[in-house]
Homo-oligomer: A and B are copies of this chain.
Amino acid sequence: MKQWDSVAIVGVGLIGGSIGLGLRDRGLARQVVGIARREASLRVAKRMGAVTKGTLDLARGVNGAELVVVCTPVARIAADARASAEVCRPGALITDVGSTKAEIVAALDGALSREVRFVGSHPLAGSEKSGPAAAAADLFVDRTVVVTPTRATREEDLASLDAFWTALGARVIRMSPEAHDRALAATSHLPHLAASALAASTPQGDLGLTASGWVDTTRVAAGDPELWQQIFMSNRANVLTALARYEKVLDSLRRCLEQGNKKKLTAILQEGKQKRDALAS
């Protein structure tokens, strides 16, 4: 397995911290440099062993890295990647871990100077928790990472990213940034929106009567509102399409209830069960 000489992680939260831990646990990188905005994050990341070195200075942090992984919130990724490109070593590869891809890739694809290239990644792993303290070396094990090449992407960079994520335990698949955003609107962004709306619409006085159904269905609503606002805004057209599809099914269910249409109600529940049962967990 390839050992990386130096990997820079810009933003050492849950995902950045987990990448660092994974790289160090598996002996995949000689040096992992964490770059953060706050000393406190660096302290936690260092104490956990997620980084070998930490700095608040982007230029110093990305300086010697072969690979820069931008793990900041979606709305900051393009700017952070561009800033990294200006101070990293010529020919370095930059990737990210953002939950949306089209907007970010469009801003960076083929747009960096000095032979620096950007290729987008999105690990389908995470948690409603955030921050480096929640990081885990095995966060990516058996998870899917979507890598989103374009026509400008070099095959060698794709191979590098494949090797990087695979070494962390993930399965890598390739999709266009646009196809990624369309699919993830349905499988990740809409579920989050639906869960948040469900939690928000529950009357305060009824919260004492929730059981496992409510608890499971609303789990992701505990996620960081600011991070998710950025994800929704970055993928709003696709989220709106997925939401319209969802509202249509809810509307059908409402009419079944109003009209006492048991047969159709059961059929819609059956369709949901069938799709749910297609998954093992």
Given A196-B273, A201-B248, 20 further pairs, Cβ under 8 A = A125-B211, A125-B212, A144-B211, A186-B206, A187-B210, A187-B214, A188-B211, A193-B253, A196-B253, A196-B268, A197-B253, A198-B246, A201-B246, A202-B275, A213-B220, A215-B281, A217-B217, A225-B266, A228-B269, A243-B254
Query: Is there an interface contact between B245 and A257, defined as CB atoms closer than 8 Å?
Result: no
Query: Is there an interface contact between A233 and B260, defined as CB atoms closer than 8 Å?
Result: yes
- How many copies of this protein are present in the complex? 2
Main SS at interface, chain A: helix
Taking Cβ atoms with an 8 Å cutoff, the residues of A that contact B are 124-127, 143-144, 146, 183-184, 186-188, 190-226, 228-229, 232-233, 236, 239-240, 242-243, 245-250, 253-254, 257-258, 260, 262, 265-266, 268-273, 275-279, 281
Which residues does chain B contribute within 8 Å of A269, judged by CB atoms? 196, 200, 221, 225, 228-229
22 residue pairs A–B, Cβ–Cβ below 8 Å: A143-B211, A184-B209, A188-B214, A191-B218, A193-B253, A194-B194, A194-B250, A195-B272, A197-B268, A197-B272, A198-B246, A198-B272, A199-B275, A217-B219, A221-B272, A222-B273, A229-B262, A229-B266, A233-B260, A236-B258, A236-B260, A250-B250
